[in-house]
A and B are shown apart, each in its own frame.
Chain A
């Protein structure tokens, strides 16, 4: 499956353009990470690309077909969306939560049956949380809950996952676990993934492709290692950046952090 966004523009009714001519494409097995400063429109982009918010111009395409022309049940069988975890008024058990992912396969009057529960068991196993199936979603850790949401998205049997900041609000061990699950799904099961992240090092670590949103609404798209350079990150986040690659065992990791500007220097650059 190929997912594409072509020249997507978005602006709220009155006001500046938030996204301007955003284009990218993702194929099976690829991971695309979207980076940008707070307010650059990362979440807006995810919502637009999924049709949850209408593009002002341009569009999203699934295997060349305009997303707006795909019936919603068909669409959500192919794309699994993992939202940011929000507190809920009514708490369900892990199993009850994950089976909701079967909704796109069931008609309005249908209830999940044995087949759906089998898919739930299998999805819980794929993300490694089978032992939690009867626990309440409020009685598990934030990292475990994030995996529940991933399992719920998998339950639709999609060929692409879209994740909104999957590793935010987690400690670094749980960030590692969530990222590894995403990478494993893409490598072993040939799923594609699009994710928002605040961490350039995570993007460099797991993604093949990257889209960097710049403050003026434009964006750059390409292979992660080419796009996420010191210069472009400095431009996107408007702060000096330190970037170094470290090799540990067989894998190369990136070490990225912003550097604080001394007061006088800051004034000079502003001038």
Chain B
């Protein structure tokens, strides 16, 4: 009896491993190819020859790459592409993790008010006329402050329940969005108000190497935490007592997951404003394709999220003469794509 069972199991496992390998290779390949394409596309088109020259100066002897091209490639396009990849991967992973943690398919990275908190900091920074890096720091600070407030408020007398946590998240979120409105109300409608509004709609325009160096480590660290905890998230989606009875340190994992997601979200919002949809949509795309096991949902969300964000941002900066806010595109491109996938796969597995 033992043999056929074992044989069948491992054979199946081999097949699924091969499929997994193909998906990983395909996703990584797509990220690289699309990134290279994204370097060339834009209002200032870069030819493949110029790109090769810029990367490998010795390849075409005697030809010199114009400084303007060098500048576009290394100071503008590459930082921006890296940010798009990181932001997409981070927001999607954070959304997926929150959905499992709150066992609620509607949770988003902003469920605990981090993004609203960060936008208040940014709006305030813009109102005060601070330089870009300080605006970013301000946003990061208020974003993390929001999650600390939520976590403290969520600790009821009988310990923290998820409902209390979500409720205090909503309260803090409402509070900060009122503060954002207050800032907008006091802002000069000639120049400051449009700047705030445009920033709130999400844009990767201002990315420089400096902003990237400041924000990227937090996103990477947060993603690392979520990646390491990905299997535990399966247990975290069970009722709390059930998870505890499996020997899971529920409090510690909850705290770490919230910390990781908050680091990602606050950092992304501080660099490129509010980007909706990605954190909700991409994890569900991953679930439709690979099932609800967070061991695959988290890495798949990172891969698909970065591709999605890269495509969106490239369209945003090159489709029209003026840049289109990212949040508008994520919804306009995301919604039909999501509906198509929903029809094709029959939704997430229930």
Task: State the A residues within 8 Å of B (CB).
Answer: 47, 50, 52, 72-73, 75-77, 81, 83, 86, 88-93, 96, 100-101, 103-105, 108-109, 111-112, 121, 125, 130, 133-134, 136, 138, 152, 156
Bound Cα distance A73, B245 (Å): 9
Q: Are B241 and A52 within 8 A (Cβ)?
A: yes
Bound Cα distance A111, B103 (Å): 20
Q: What residue in chain A is nearest B248 (Cβ atoms)?
A: A103
Task: State the B residues within 8 Å of A (CB).
Answer: 5-6, 9, 12, 99-100, 103-105, 228-232, 234-235, 237-239, 241-242, 244-249, 252-253, 287, 291-293, 295, 348-350
Bound Cα distance A238, B10 (Å): 56
CB-CB under 8 A for A108 and B253, given A83-B239, A91-B349, A93-B291? yes
Q: Are B350 and A76 within 8 A (Cβ)?
A: no
Q: What residue in chain B is nearest A162 (Cβ atoms)?
A: B245
Q: What residue in chain B is nearest A138 (Cβ atoms)?
A: B350
Q: Are A73 and B247 within 8 A (Cβ)?
A: yes
Bound Cα distance A121, B287 (Å): 25
Bound Cα distance A45, B245 (Å): 15
Bound Cα distance A105, B247 (Å): 8
Most buried by B among A47, A77, A109, A156: A109
Bound Cα distance A42, B338 (Å): 47
Q: What residue in chain B is nearest A83 (Cβ atoms)?
A: B242
Q: Are A86 and B247 within 8 A (Cβ)?
A: no
A107 to chain B, nearest CB (A): 10
Q: What residue in chain A is nearest B238 (Cβ atoms)?
A: A88
Q: Which of A76, A105, A138 contacts B245 (CB 8 A)?
A: A76
Q: Are A52 and B291 within 8 A (Cβ)?
A: no
Most buried by A among B231, B244, B293: B231
Task: Specify which chain A residues have a CB less than 8 angstroms from the CB of B248 in the assembled complex.
Answer: 103
Beyond the given A86-B242, A96-B291, A109-B229, could you list 13 further A-B residue pairs with CB under 8 A, ordered by the A residue number? A75-B247, A83-B241, A88-B103, A89-B103, A90-B103, A92-B234, A92-B292, A93-B291, A101-B246, A111-B230, A125-B5, A130-B5, A136-B349
Q: Which of B237, B247, B293 contacts A89 (CB 8 A)?
A: B237
Bound Cα distance A112, B232 (Å): 10
Task: Specify which chain B residues have a CB less than 8 angstroms from the CB of A109 in the assembled complex.
Answer: 228-229
Bound Cα distance A50, B241 (Å): 11
Q: Are A121 and B293 within 8 A (Cβ)?
A: no
Q: Are B244 and A72 within 8 A (Cβ)?
A: yes
Q: Which of B238, B252, B348 contacts A108 (CB 8 A)?
A: B252
